[in-house]
Structure 1
Amino acid sequence: MHDINVIDLSRAPGERAAWDQPTWKVYAWAICELIFVTNPWQISSGVRVQILKAFGAKVGRGVIFRPRTRVKFPWKLTIGDRSWIGEGVWLHNQDEVVIEHDVVISQETFLSTGSHAHRRDMALLTSPIHVGAGAWVTSRCVILGGSKIGRSALIRPLSLVAGITVPDGEVWGGNPLQYVGRRFERSVS
């Protein structure tokens, strides 16, 4: 039974590998995130957006950003016009997350661009996430690094998207993720 490897986590590389910003900026963001973004009070969505922009997020016009959200690194976040980020969404973006225009990311959804080299040394591995225009990621989904969600695609509640491409206009759901059908009967512009 003792012939199974155990990785010594004290030697794992990369605790700060994804920071790519000065330490003071990462800590300043942590304080602002706690006060203005993660805060459960109904502070204005506009205030949250301005704080995100002040730390380098690219956020379009008319974006709604609900309370209790988390953003790991705003300088690695792009959100297009008129998108909605629901209450309790966690963007654990150690790599780039791009959310195009008119996208809905619903309540309690978790997007994570990071993982670990679990067979080697637990080093940080990252891969971007891209969510296409008009897509809807419904509540309590998990979207992992390397995932691409197509234009006007829909991900059903409690689904896991693990580094795959969901085609434009399709509905997918579950764990394991499966094709459910088309979102619209005809093309929508």
Structure 2
Amino acid sequence: MNHDDSAATEVPVIDLSKAPGRGEAWDRSRAIVYLWAVCELLFVTNAWQVSSTIRVRVLRAFGAEIAEGVVFRPRTRVKFPWKLHIGARSWIGEGVWFHNQDHIYVGNDVVISQESFLTTGSHAHRRDMALLTRPIRIQPGVWIASRCIVLGGAQLGTSALIGPNSVVTGTVAANMVFRAGPMEPVGRRFRETDGADVGDQTL
């Protein structure tokens, strides 16, 4: 056995057969969870179901709090609709996935663009891989561009703008613009001008 193999045998491995069950975050009966899985497939995720109105009605029927004027595009996924809260006039892009084992709060006039993934869950990776959850809070006016990942505990301030393919953790200040890669501020989203049209800044 070489040195690397010897070192590897000393590293702990968690027995996943003993990890706590997946139903910890359900908060509803097994029948409701399974019924939702069927309705999600037929009315929410289904690319052939093009009506945002039907999608929103089905989500509300299962406990989602969705205000007026919200647009829900096809191929969206919602883990638990009873833990989803969306303010008025927000846009949810095609393929967005709310993996909300904890609550996700989305303010009014928020844009969550195509293929973005919001997940509130993680695991106790040094102990037993038990489920750990933290809510996500998104303030009004935020734009999350395409294919972003927003992790549990994230708090996005009013009118923050997150560039495509970013991984969002922690607190994002209001009115800040972030690009993909290491999260770093690149400037303010809205700024005072002398009246001249400075145009939109490219991310």
- Unpaired segments of 5 or more residues in structure 1? none
Counterpart secondary structure, 2:55: helix
1:6 aligns with 13
Following superposition, the deviation at residue 185 of structure 1 comes to 1.0
Q: Quick check: 1:88 aligned with 2:95?
A: yes
The whole-number CA distance in structure 1 between the counterparts of 2:96 and 2:128 is 30
Match of 2:181 among 171, 175, 178: 175
Number of aligned pairs? 186
1:144-181 Cα offsets, whole Å, 9 max, x none, are 0000011000000000012x110111101223211111
- Unpaired segments of 5 or more residues in structure 2? 1-7, 193-203
Counterpart secondary structure, 1:41: coil
Contact 2:43/2:49, CA 8 A, preserved across alignment: no
The whole-number CA distance in structure 1 between the counterparts of 2:44 and 2:76 is 6
Following superposition, the deviation at residue 95 of structure 1 comes to 0.1
The whole-number CA distance in structure 2 between the counterparts of 1:103 and 1:33 is 22
Q: 5 Å matches for 1:65-104?
A: 65-104=72-111
Letter matched to residue 167 of structure 1: A
The whole-number CA distance in structure 2 between the counterparts of 1:55 and 1:147 is 25
1:161 aligns with 168
Counterpart secondary structure, 1:68: coil
Q: TM-score, normalised by structure 1?
A: 0.96
Letter matched to residue 178 of structure 1: E
Counterpart secondary structure, 2:118: strand
1:35 aligns with 42
2:149 aligns with 142
Contact 2:91/2:109, CA 8 A, preserved across alignment: yes
Counterpart secondary structure, 1:61: coil
Following superposition, the deviation at residue 43 of structure 1 comes to 2.3
Following superposition, the deviation at residue 28 of structure 1 comes to 0.5
2:115 aligns with 108
The whole-number CA distance in structure 2 between the counterparts of 1:15 and 1:81 is 32
Q: Quick check: 1:64 aligned with 2:71?
A: yes
Q: Give the 3 Å change call, closer, same or farther, for CA 176–14 of structure 1 in structure 2.
A: farther
The whole-number CA distance in structure 1 between the counterparts of 2:49 and 2:61 is 20
Q: TM-score, normalised by structure 2?
A: 0.90
Letter matched to residue 131 of structure 1: I
Identity in percent: 61
The whole-number CA distance in structure 1 between the counterparts of 2:173 and 2:31 is 40
2:26 aligns with 19
Letter matched to residue 46 of structure 2: N
The whole-number CA distance in structure 1 between the counterparts of 2:181 and 2:19 is 30
The whole-number CA distance in structure 2 between the counterparts of 1:114 and 1:175 is 22
